[in-house]
Amino acid sequence: MRKTGLLFAALAALLLPGLARGAEEFQILKVKKGETLREVARAYLAEPGNWKELLRRNSLPSTDPDAALPAMSLSVPAALVKARYRAARLIYLDNSVLLRRSDSSDWNEAYYSEQLFPRDALRTRGGSSAEVRFYGGETLRVASNSLIVLRQPVKEAPGAEMLVGVLHSKGARVVTRTAVIVPKTRDTEFDTTMDRNLKTVVNVTRGAAEVEASGRKVEVTEGYRVEVMPGIPPSDPFKPSASPAPGEIGYVVQVVTAEVAMGGIGSSQGPGGTTAAPPAPGAGVNSGRLRPGVIKIETISMNGAAQGAHVQVSKSRDFSSPVLDKKYMAIEEVDLNQVLPAGNYFYRAAPIDLLGFEGRFGEPRPLRITGSGGR
């Protein structure tokens, strides 16, 4: 996406909620060939008598509300539209974001400010993200490698179904294959992630949300989270640990060198959900032994939900003057022998999740650089 587009998107994310109240917001209604103005008003407008507004604001071949119309698009104030038909808008997108309309099987590139309707699907690729704003100001921030389908409002609360990935919701409902998450207030905020095993994790960062699964409802308040496995009711709400376990939201990367495992890893999930021992010193994760001075950034959450890591290398343990301060994508192998002189260093890493949030740096670890590509 061009820098200009990013600038407009950023400004819109700040201004659009106010525009919905300070100025009229319009949306497009699709008219099928042969439909009449009165039929369109009856189907889509909260007050069918407002067909006169459609006539006033659009150039039509006839002023007769019962005359058949050609296939066309009509502009209408969103406030006049029934809640279940009000369009959402794509107020931010970064890199490649795909859109599939409900009446199509084709995926096409989405564009900024595009209108989205119930049953439209939005898909983000690796390194891309998007944000959807509903008419009432509720938003969904879609992380990379995610797939959502917009749903009709329930009790006028808009939302989406997440088929895979990570979502950050402000006031919007989220449905996964194993749970329904409903915000208790319009300003409630929560993260939802779902892995390939259909495990749903909900982390409430503001307000409170209700999580329902398998006939049980649990209220989750700010700072707490719940987990839902297929066919099993939600867990009791719990406070996440200071150092989240593998698979939890916010713990998505680790960095490994030939000398030491990095990232505060205590255990990892093995086949069948068993607990596997942490990597032995000198061993790379899923990748055999690494040479001195080579680091590897890998995801360890169950759904691989990571952008990468922020890595710093310094001569001193306090990192007052880092000799390397750079962000790397997952999964990436970085040979520091190519960029740093031979010697002994310290390094640390902070995880960057799919929503772009950076976590805390881990403890400093020793790093030996041999130079000459490690040979």
pLDDT tens figures, 273-303: 222 333 333 333 333 445 666 766 554 443 3
Length, in residues, of the chain: 375
Token code pair at residue 167: 């979502």
Residue 49 amino acid letter:
G
Q: How many CA atoms lie within 13 A of 55 on its CB side?
A: 17
Instruction: Give, in order, the Cα–Cα distances in Å from 247 to each of 76, 368, 372.
Output: 46, 30, 37
- pLDDT of the residue at 297: 59
The CA distance from 175 to 181, in Å, is 6
- pLDDT of the residue at 152: 86
List of the chain residues with pLDDT < 50: 1-22, 243-289, 299-305, 373-375
Ordered domains of the chain (ranges, CATH): 5-84 (no CATH), 86-228 (2.60.120.1440), 253-374 (2.60.40)
Interior angle at CA 135, CA 133 and CA 141, nearest 5: 15
The CA distance from 21 to 24, in Å, is 7
Instruction: Show Cβ contacts of residue 312 under 8 Å, excluding neighbours closer than 6 positions.
Output: 319, 322, 324, 325, 347, 348, 349, 361
Instruction: Read off the DSSP letter of residue 46.
Output: S
Q: What pTM, to 2 d.p., does this model score?
A: 0.59
- pLDDT of the residue at 256: 39
The CA distance from 47 to 153, in Å, is 18
Whether 233 contacts 181, CB under 8 Å: no
- pLDDT of the residue at 211: 97
Q: For 175-191, what is each residue's pLDDT tens digit?
A: 999 999 999 998 899 99
Q: How many CA atoms lie within 13 A of 3 on its CB side?
A: 0
Instruction: Show Cβ contacts of residue 288 under 8 Å, excluding neighbours closer than 6 positions.
Output: none
The CA distance from 334 to 347, in Å, is 13
Sheet with 365-369, strands from edge to edge, namely: 324-329, 308-314, 343-352, 365-369
- pLDDT of the residue at 174: 96
Classify the C-alpha dihedral 361-363-364-365 as positive or negative.
Answer: negative
Cis peptide before 331 (omega within 30 of 0): yes
Interior angle at CA 118, CA 25 and CA 52, nearest 5: 45
